[in-house]
Structure 1
Amino acid sequence: MREGSLDAPVRHPIDWNDPDFYDEAKLDEELRRVFDICHGCRRCFNLCDSFPRLFDLIDESASGELDTVESKDFKPVVDACTLCDMCFMVKCPYVPPHEFNLDFPHLMLRYRAVEHRKGQRAMGERELTKTDRNGKLGTMVSGLANWASSEKNTLTRPVMEKTLGVHKEAALPKFTGKTLVARAKANPPQVDAAAPAHGRKAVIYATCYGNYNTPEIGEAALKVLAKNGVACEVVYPECCGMPQMEQGDLPKVAHKAKSVAANLKPWIEKGYDVIALVPSCALMLKFEWPLIATDDPGVKALAEATFDISEYIVDIAKKEGLAEGLKPLDGAVSVHIACHARAQNMGQKGAELAKLIPETKIGVVERCSGHGGSWGIMKDNFEVGMKVGKPVFRQMKQNGDAKYIASECPLAGLHIRQGIERSGEGEVAPELAPHPVVLLAKAYGLA
């Protein structure tokens, strides 16, 4: 129950077409209103670095109150926000419909939208958001790209740090030599017509990360779904726009929402469910797009048809029952529940999926890993992200018991694995699975 309201939290549309949205005086007024409420509450002090920065800023001011804090000093508070939505979803008692009407992440987004319109976002961050361009190029020369981006490469990584602002020690995702779309076309799984869920059909939205970086997530999902009778197609029109949203480029996000929704509309009309492989992308399709592209009925229809991959398989398990053939894994599993999975308000579906594996010890960690999309790899943020993630790194190892670790967010998984390795003092780190569905495929003997 939320303090001051018995109603479920609601989010208002993001009115980015209104000129007042970009009015800096009105933005500053709203920042001060919200920050003053946060200062008096402080319930979110341990969620991310935004709130400690805000509270330190106020405490160290001349009056110890917000009135003696200069507006120019708000930027570090904004820059520390990863748009994880955890303050809105799990902590803040003052979100709508409470009369205080707080939405801290979307206020930070508004600040970045003003910066973006003024051309003030960093060049390196802007280039990193071009995931389709980067993915296509990286896939074409995956060997060279993966060599250059390796944190062990003392030749190229200092250059990347200087030119793009990417911390030279941050683990970066590898590029595949063959995209998920190409793999699915070349080797479509055979659907088991005798399986309990036969008759379901779904289109898998590959996501930029699933298509260019970790196609094994999509391949595992396709095999598990086919085993359970679900006929699947893989599509990838373009990126969901989460990287652009992090930078405040709301016009680009709206364009992507309408474009992808138009591409998927024929599938939805034919009765296909839509499955997103990465929780950040599922969050965009389900919740963020309808708040940004409010005038597009196709975006609304897509939101209503979309499932997270963990959510979808758990739904099959509950309604039809899973196909037989699951075997225990050869060791314990530690599952991280990603923030953008939690923000979907669907429960711990990644953990529920892992617990479908018989006779296998499953540990669950529900806490921010400290990564936050592209935020965690930047020079100014990497060590902060490592500090935030320390409790997760420790818990994921389960006192040395876990053989496998997996996060629903593959980027968070990379960050967690690196954090474990950095703090392990020579110990062997657990094996990283890019998503719990990969472990379910392994339990089926399909990996």
Structure 2
Amino acid sequence: MREGSLEAPTRHPLDWENPEFYDEAKLDAEMRRVFDICHGCRRCFNLCDSFPRLFDLVDESKSGELDTVASADFKPVVDACTLCDMCFLTKCPYVPPHEFNLDFPHLILRYRAVEAKKHGVGAVDHALTETDRNGKWATLISGAVNWATRRGSPLRGLEEKVAGIDRNAALPEYASQSLEAKTKANPPQRDASAPAKARKVVLYATCYGDYNDTSIGEAALAVLAKNGVETKVLHPHCCGMPKLEQGLIGEVADAARKVAAAFAPYIDEGYDIVAPVPSCALMLKFEWPLILPNDASVKRLAAATFDLSEYIVDIARKEGLAGGMSPIEGGVAFHMSCHSRAQNFGQKGTVLLNLIPQADVAVVERCSGHGGAWGYKKGNFETAMKVGKPAMRQLNTAGKKHVVSECPLAGIHLEQGIEALAGDAPKPERVGHPIVLMARAYGVSSPSK
């Protein structure tokens, strides 16, 4: 039997509509098969907290092997997984097409799906997955919401008690107007002085880009317009990543069908779909086709979708970017997010930044530890800070003026860790996405919320 595989990882569709997927005995057998292989390998020991928890369980068991670990003790291992996919894509030698057929993140997802089907998801946890509903309401009263959720707010203790959100975790602010509303009032216009390109883009605003930090989408639209690309903005529905983390695969499938239907007419007209948040791009391009492998509309959307950094680099390589960028002073410490890496297209964010004159980029390729809503929760926040500390330390000591991650939630988490490490020393400025620095270099956009 061979040790590891030299072939590129492949993923099998999720068999979530098969009743056997939810068979607890079969799930437990598969958990034990996979965990026993992980215990014998241990290459993932330094990725996240799931693997140390698993290895400690085994090492502290009566036999020192998995056979004396109770299945009930698997839950802390499952709870620590953030579905970052790094074990699958960067560490595990036994992923398909290897005969061992290991897909640790999708095994964890199956466990959560079984739990959700059997026990349901708590009302608060489910409410937190309703990012569109929450965002629509929060933008209407953004001042009050941002005051109530800021660190140090007198309400954070109550939020911790009721919603389980750690009072010390920095939370994203909400915009006073969504990106979609802004662009309806002031539609993006292609720069008349730029040569028109045979490209048309619909920017999938995403929940975060629509309701939280609109500067990312505004910068993207400005850079695309500067480069002669016709653009539109659309946010039909959340990509479902928060629901996927809870094991609500059926609700993710519903979101996929809804979004695919909304984008279908634009794809018919030759538009490319561009997502500014890596997690959302990952869902459209990879996770949805594994959840709905026979849905032609979902497959078509996946083929038409690009990550924002990927798309800008594609323009640069094929047609060339418009000139006129000014240098960015002070250098950039760039965090390569896990869901950027999970798209398996290389360091497109690094390439984008290096297109800016004198960007002086230092790349940090370590997990932020955040893991979406997981990192906000009481009981997870300290673990998230621990896992992210190596990345925070590298970004803080890089000696750059700017720090940026393509994942905006990771950026907020990293900024909080850098503040703790730096103390009273000067700290780099956090920027929401590399595209914001490119827009600044062009002089076509300024951050706004």
Q: Same fold (TM over 0.5)?
A: yes
> C-alpha offsets along residues 283-328 of structure 1, whole Å, 9 cap, x if unaligned?
0000000000122100000000000000000101111111011111
What amino acid is aligned across from residue 84 of structure 2 in structure 1? C
1:260 aligned partner: 259
Deviates further, 355-364 or 370-379: 355-364
**1:54-93 equivalent positions in 2, closer than 5 A:** 54-93=54-93
1:225 aligned partner: 224
1:131 aligned partner: 131
Cα RMSD between the aligned structures?
1.2
Query: Do the aligned partners of 1:203 and 1:272 also contact (CA within 8 Å) in 2?
Result: yes
1:95 aligned partner: 95
> C-alpha offsets along residues 222-280 of structure 1, whole Å, 9 cap, x if unaligned?
00000000000000101000000000000000000011001100000100000001000
Is 1:189 the counterpart of 2:188 in the alignment?
A: yes
Query: Do the aligned partners of 2:157 and 2:167 also contact (CA within 8 Å) in 1?
Result: yes
SS class of match (1:405): strand
Query: Do the aligned partners of 1:241 and 1:253 also contact (CA within 8 Å) in 2?
Result: yes
> C-alpha offsets along residues 23-76 of structure 1, whole Å, 9 cap, x if unaligned?
000000000000000000000000000000000000000000000000000000
1:426 aligned partner: 424
What amino acid is aligned across from residue 441 of structure 2 in structure 1? A
CA deviation after TM superposition for structure 1 residue 429, in Å: 1.8
C-alpha distance in structure 1 between counterparts of 2:404 and 2:119, whole Å: 38
1:411 aligned partner: 409
Is 1:114 the counterpart of 2:114 in the alignment?
A: yes
> C-alpha offsets along residues 314-370 of structure 1, whole Å, 9 cap, x if unaligned?
101111111011111121111111100000001011111111110121111111000
Deviates further, 189-198 or 213-222: 189-198
TM-score (norm 1): 0.97
Query: CA 1:245 to 1:360, structure 2 compared with 1: closer, same or farther past 3 Å?
Result: same
2:150 aligned partner: 150
**1:11-410 equivalent positions in 2, closer than 5 A:** 11-153=11-153, 155-193=154-192, 195=194, 198-399=197-398, 401-410=399-408
C-alpha distance in structure 2 between counterparts of 1:319 and 1:397, whole Å: 35
Deviates further, 102-111 or 193-202: 193-202
C-alpha distance in structure 2 between counterparts of 1:90 and 1:194, whole Å: 44
Query: Do the aligned partners of 1:206 and 1:234 also contact (CA within 8 Å) in 2?
Result: yes
C-alpha distance in structure 2 between counterparts of 1:242 and 1:413, whole Å: 18
What amino acid is aligned across from residue 415 of structure 1 in structure 2? H
What amino acid is aligned across from residue 417 of structure 1 in structure 2? E
Query: Do the aligned partners of 2:396 and 2:422 also contact (CA within 8 Å) in 1?
Result: no
SS class of match (2:334): strand
C-alpha distance in structure 2 between counterparts of 1:113 and 1:197, whole Å: 47
Gaps of 5+ in 2: none
What amino acid is aligned across from residue 68 of structure 2 in structure 1? T
Is 1:445 the counterpart of 2:424 in the alignment?
A: no
What amino acid is aligned across from residue 18 of structure 2 in structure 1? D
CA deviation after TM superposition for structure 1 residue 126, in Å: 1.8
Query: Do the aligned partners of 1:333 and 1:362 also contact (CA within 8 Å) in 2?
Result: yes
Deviates further, 140-149 or 184-193: 184-193
C-alpha distance in structure 2 between counterparts of 1:162 and 1:25, whole Å: 35
SS class of match (1:274): strand
SS class of match (1:329): coil
Gaps of 5+ in 1: none
| Total equivalences in the alignment | 444
Query: Do the aligned partners of 2:189 and 2:231 also contact (CA within 8 Å) in 1?
Result: no
C-alpha distance in structure 1 between counterparts of 2:128 and 2:169, whole Å: 14
Identity of aligned residues (%): 64
Query: Do the aligned partners of 1:123 and 1:164 also contact (CA within 8 Å) in 2?
Result: no
What amino acid is aligned across from residue 421 of structure 1 in structure 2? E
Query: Do the aligned partners of 1:334 and 1:398 also contact (CA within 8 Å) in 2?
Result: no
C-alpha distance in structure 2 between counterparts of 1:120 and 1:253, whole Å: 15
